[in-house]
């Protein structure tokens, strides 16, 4: 609880329930009380990301006859969003510098969000404030940096004896957020970046370091599964498909808004090139008024005869797939790639996949309740890109998908108690 003043309890109160401290992927209830009956106020939120970029949001609310506002119940009249959006102040946080993604990648540091209530007539007059600490690591989860052979990453292990299923979190550039949160759900998770440096400096990609990561993960004492699950998005999604097709040990793959072909860089395994790269044409980028570009139609068509060699042979994988596509993804033509994969698997008599589509969501599907990203730098294009979607639909998709990912991994990455006891 937080009071605007230490004086009397009649002062305006801003409460974050059930607590001001919570996990990143948990919703909170924002309540204001001790206002005048029907008083109009603005409620603001602000947060600074790991690069020091300030993000902020604001919404105008009218108190009820008892002088109370409850964001779960009440509609915003104007501001960053309109209508009933209990977590709208978080999901609509916008950067003060255009074309910026909210960077929250380090698991040891909480996402700090400052909430404040302001008199609508005197905007400089703050009536109450409170700070929400949103943790990426739950109590008892352990975090260990890993540098083994040709890969580096971070290992997150849940509390308790286990055995736990093993998950490889493939991120394009290093991020601990999704892995740390998944460990709280009962998975041993190793997060490994596809790129250790800016992708523009890389000439080819090798699957071998990721195979080393899989081997390392399966050797962890609390791991009880014989194979692993992989969670991936964007460029890392085609790497995940390639691991399923060429490398043993992959039981399940979550593919989010990626391509069905190997993109950008030629792919090698055991010193041999296994897939050429599907490229993009910068002349097909569509400029927008914000200065960011729509890249959806710039990638070459993998189904054209001259590009078919880039298609990843997922039909040869003994893997369960969860394909996830945002229909308003403006970074990739994700839904088209998903349909291509579904049809190819069906053609080969395979039923080892399920799919989910989100009609008005954009490219960056992340764990829920983070700021919606309209546009940010695309590392491969070296230009800002528009990612598509709208805050409300995108936020709803993230809540639904987060549960879906956990259910999918639990149902397919199964623990073997005998194997676990043999290790110990």
Mind telling me the catalytic residues?
234, 329, 363
What are the tokens at 402? 């987060």
Cis amide prior to 163 (ω within 30 degrees): yes
Closest-CA residue to 183 (of 166, 196, 204) = 166
Closest-CA residue to 413 (of 185, 222, 251) = 251
User: 91 in helix, strand or coil?
Assistant: helix
What are the tokens at 69? 């506002």
The answer to whether the CB of 88 falls within 8 A of the CB of 71 is yes
Q: Which residue has the tokens 């039923």?
A: 351
H/E stretch holding 245: helix 235-246
Distances from the Cα of 235 to the Cαs of 126, 195, 379, 398, in angstroms? Answer: 44, 10, 11, 19
Distances from the Cα of 151 to the Cαs of 5, 189, 192, 213, in angstroms? Answer: 52, 15, 8, 7
Closest-CA residue to 378 (of 271, 269, 306, 296) = 296
Q: What are the DSSP E strand ranges found in 120-239?
A: 126-135, 142-148, 151-157, 164-171, 188-193, 205-206, 223-233
Determine how many CB atoms are found less than 10 A away from the CB of residue 405.
23
Give phi and psi for 407, each to the nearest 5. -65, -45
What are the tokens at 27? 């919703």
The answer to whether the CB of 41 falls within 8 A of the CB of 81 is no
């Amino acid at each position: 609880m937080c009071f605007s003043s230490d004086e009397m309890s009649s002062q305006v109160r801003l409460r974050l329930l059930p607590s001001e401290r919570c996990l990143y992927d948990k919703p909170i209830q924002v309540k204001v009380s001790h206002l005048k009956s029907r008083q109009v106020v603005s409620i603001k939120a602000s947060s600074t990301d790991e690069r020091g970029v300030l993000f902020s949001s604001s919404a105008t609310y009218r108190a009820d006859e008892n002088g109370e506002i409850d964001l779960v119940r009440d509609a915003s009249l104007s501001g960053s969003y309109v209508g009933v959006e209990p977590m709208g102040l978080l999901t609509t946080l916008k950067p003060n510098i255009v074309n910026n993604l909210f960077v929250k990648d380090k698991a040891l540091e909480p996402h700090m969000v400052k909430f404040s209530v302001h008199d609508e007539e005197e905007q400089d007059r703050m009536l109450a404030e409170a700070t929400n600490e949103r943790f990426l690591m739950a109590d008892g989860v352990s975090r260990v940096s890993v540098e083994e052979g040709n890969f580096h990453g971070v290992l997150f292990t849940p509390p308790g004896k286990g055995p736990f299923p093993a998950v490889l979190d493939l991120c394009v550039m290093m991020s601990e957020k999704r892995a740390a949160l998944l460990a709280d759900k009962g998975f041993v998770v190793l997060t490994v970046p596809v790129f250790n440096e800016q992708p523009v400096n890389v000439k080819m990609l090798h699957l071998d370091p990721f195979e080393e990561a899989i081997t390392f993960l399966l050797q962890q004492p609390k791991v009880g599964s014989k194979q692993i699950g992989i969670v991936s998005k964007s460029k890392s999604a085609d790497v995940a498909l390639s691991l399923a097709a060429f490398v043993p040990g992959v039981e399940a793959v979550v593919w989010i808004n990626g391509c069905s072909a190997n993109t950008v860089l030629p792919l090698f395994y055991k010193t041999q090139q296994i897939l050429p790269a599907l490229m993009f044409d910068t002349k097909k980028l569509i400029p927008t008024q914000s200065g960011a570009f729509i890249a959806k139609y710039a990638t070459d068509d993998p189904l054209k005869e001259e590009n078919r060699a880039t298609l990843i042979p997922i039909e040869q994988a003994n893997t369960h797939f969860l394909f996830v596509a945002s229909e308003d993804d403006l970074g990739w033509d994700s839904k088209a790639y998903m349909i291509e994969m579904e049809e190819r698997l069906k053609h080969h008599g395979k039923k080892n996949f399920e799919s989910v589509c989100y009609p008005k969501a954009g490219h960056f599907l992340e764990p829920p309740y983070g700021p919606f990203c309209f546009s940010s730098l695309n590392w491969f294009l070296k230009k800002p890109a528009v990612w598509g979607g709208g805050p409300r639909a995108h936020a709803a998709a993230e809540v639904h998908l987060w549960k879906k990912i956990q259910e999918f991994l639990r149902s397919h990455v199964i623990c073997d108690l005998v194997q676990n006891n043999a290790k110990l």
